[in-house]
Chains A and B, each alone.
Chain A
Amino acid sequence: MPKVIVPLGPQHPALKEPGNFTLMLEGEEIVDAALRLGYNHRGIEKAAESRNFIQAMYLIERVCGICSHAHATCYVTNVENICGLELPRRAQAIRVITGELERIHSHLLWLGVAAHEIGFDTLFMYSWRDREYIMDALETLSGNRVHYSINTIGGVRRDIGKEQIEDILKKLDLVESRTNYYIKLATQEPTLHARTMGVGKLPKEEALKRDACGPLLRASGVARDVRKDDPYLLYGELDFKVITSDACDVFGRVYVRVFEILESVKILRQVLNNMPQGPVSVKMPPKVPAGESVTRYEAPRGEDIHYVKTDGGVNPSRVKLRAPTLANFESVAYMLKGDQLADAPLIIAAIDPCFSCTDRMAVVDKLSGQSQIETFKDLRLKSIEHYKRKGIDFSKL
């Protein structure tokens, strides 16, 4: 049978964002997949270097509209580390509340998108309706639905009042009961099983080899979560479980995300019922000293890593982001192989891709037969050559 190449994207009804997947088909089966990114490349890292520390925070928040708090917190923590600021406990608690509310809204959003991809639009409408409760909670907390901008260097902008706490707790009860309904649905609904079980297989070894992160990795049976492994903010004192699943397929990813909503509700109840007292921010020093810092943060999609370098000036001299979706794309090509064309949108959606986060640089994968990929050995030789020209010899290393 002749092989057929089907391009998917950058504008495609199944993709909410621009990305390009070149699928090589044999009949209905995908035999190879290549990925092209970069449609959303805007140059935020470079732009951050020409803005001051506060302005750069608002810019970096707009890297992504879904995990905006994750990026902003990650960046702000770096600047605070460089300044040597001690964050007040109440500010930490408010950051945890915003972060967990964001996780719930992101997972509900994903559930809806995944349900839409399998043609189950009722579930899409249900989960997006419930997501609005969380959006309301975020709005009462921060004043905005999407870009909360609750962070500031040295703490948070707004305090949380008693009425707000009661309001959020009431909304959490609602969301919890709805999530239990989704769990019932996910475990009993035959259509959901038929479309998700055994689709987009990613065994544990492959997931580890390909450096997957977040719910994708946890759905392949690896309990890895920055909140547990390297606790930041108040997470070290909170009681929650890392949800994993051994299913290694799209069903496992549904399972992990739905149960993570319940864990987030648990975290939020603990924090909201025991709010530490005190100020919500400390003063930022007038001058940020020279230094560098790396922070990890468990965003709803996985591990988010930021690096900030300062030289004592008014602007950061380098900002580098590694968004979780970039780590997960490596697995997509593997998962697509051997599956049906009709499942491709679902498999792509199952990693909860966020192209706006990811498009830091263009990554071009290979199609079989036209390999242009350089091996580690080639790259190493090239780098040795490069440094030799600069007068440093690394060839002994």
Chain B
Amino acid sequence: MKSIREQVAAWARTASPWIIHFNSGSCNGCDIETVAALTPRFDVERFGIVQHGTPRHADVLIVTGAISKQQKDRLVRIYNQMAAPKFVVALGACACGGGVLQGCYGVLGGADKIIPVDLYVPGCPPRPEALIDGIVKLLSGIKGVENA
């Protein structure tokens, strides 16, 4: 049984997670599907999710694309700028493990080689529904609900 303080903290964290989207060498497919998830057909705002431009205000970092050598340091910097508690979602096959770009000389591999990843959403690119499902699972995980 969680203490009341933990319960309140979990409620506060899950009521309105703000996301920041970072393109770490993606082909744009996952990025466009992330934006599509915000628009009327899918509308993630009904879960209180808002996309935000600055890492200091965001709770969830969505990483798309295999990590390119140029973007590696920037990704670490953005991750460090985010205030705890922070969560990382690797969106798409490339961010999960390199995908089709595995072995390219400018690519280091999946996002988990650089920063800790909490949730993997596979697909090339994942449908907006997959992203929504992933984020809902992430939120249930934060709340402590089992078998979400």
Contacts and interface: CB of A to CB of B under 8 A. Distances in A.
B104 A43 contact: yes
Given A10-B74, A39-B70, A146-B33, A356 B26 contact: yes
B27 A65 contact: yes
A63 B41 contact: no
Contact of A40 (B25, B41, B52, B53): B25
Give the one of B26, B30, B52, B66 with max A CB within 10 A. Answer: B26
A40 B23 contact: yes
Contact of A146 (B35, B65, B70, B125): B125
Interface string A53-73: 000001100111110100000
B106 A147 contact: no
A356 B107 contact: no
B103 interface: yes
Contacts of B40: 125, 128-129
A11 B22 contact: yes
Contacts of B25: 39-42, 356
A65 B28 contact: yes
Interface in B27-43: 27-33, 35-36, 39-41
Interface in A317-332: none
A16 interface: yes
- Greatest chain A CB density within 10 A among B26, B27, B31, B107 is at B27
B13 interface: no
Interface stretch (A24-32, A44-52, A94-102, A363-371): A44-52
Contact of B101 (A42, A66, A68, A131): A42
A338 interface: no
A44 B29 contact: no
Contacts of B54: 13
Most buried by B among A11, A43, A66, A125: A11
B36 A16 contact: no
Contact of B32 (A65, A124, A129): A65
Contacts of A39: 25, 68, 70-71, 74
B32 A109 contact: yes
A129 B127 CA distance: 15
Interface string B105-148: 11100000000000000001101000000000000000000000
Interface residues on chain B, size class = 35 or more
B4 interface: no
B100 A58 contact: yes
Nearest to B42: A132
A133 B118 CA distance: 33
B78 interface: yes
Contacts of B35: 16, 128
A68 to B, nearest CB: 7
A105 B19 CA distance: 25
A44 B33 contact: no
Nearest to B101: A42
Nearest to A9: B74
B41 A68 contact: no
Given A43-B106, A125-B40, A128-B39, A17 B31 contact: yes
B79 to A, nearest CB: 11
A272 B77 CA distance: 50
A173 B54 CA distance: 40
A22 to B, nearest CB: 16
Contact of A44 (B24, B28, B30, B104): B104
A145 interface: yes
B29 A42 contact: no
B33 to A, nearest CB: 7
A354 interface: yes
A184 B3 CA distance: 58
Contacts of A38: 70
A249 B75 CA distance: 35
A289 interface: no
A18 B101 contact: no
The 5 A-B pairs of least Cβ separation, nearest first, read: A65-B29, A13-B53, A65-B28, A128-B39, A43-B104
Interface of B: 22-33, 35-36, 39-41, 52-55, 65-66, 68-71, 74, 78, 100-101, 103-107, 124-125, 127
10 contacts: A17-B23, A40-B26, A41-B106, A42-B66, A43-B106, A46-B104, A62-B100, A65-B29, A146-B29, A147-B29
Given A65-B28, A132-B39, 8 more contacts: A10-B71, A44-B101, A44-B104, A66-B32, A68-B29, A145-B33, A145-B125, A356-B27
